[in-house]
Amino acid sequence: MRSIDEALKLKEVLDKYYRKPSIEIDRILNAKINYVYIVYVDMVDVIVIDVNKYIANINQNFLGKIAGERRFPLS
């Protein structure tokens, strides 16, 4: 769970983009991330990866580890 300070900083950023309606602080405090979207601009590709797999491999090269992930080619 996020601290109130973290949530307030995040709300400040989100309020720049989501104004009507703005996102309530309690939604930010209780939000959960399920997937990470990796955008490879040079390869014109988007890869969806489970957040737990992303965290487990955050310091390693993803290209060799994401072969089985859902891909959304942009071209």
The answer to whether the CB of 57 falls within 8 A of the CB of 47 is no
Phi, psi at 44, each rounded to 5°: 50, 60
Whole-number pLDDT of residue 44: 82
Q: Running DSSP on this structure, what letter comes out for residue 60?
A: S
Whole-number pLDDT of residue 66: 56
Phi, psi at 43, each rounded to 5°: -95, 0
Q: What is the pTM of this model?
A: 0.50
Whole-number pLDDT of residue 26: 92
The low-confidence residues of the chain, meaning pLDDT below 70, are 1, 59-75
Q: pLDDT, tens digit, for every residue of 34-54? A: 998 888 788 788 888 888 888
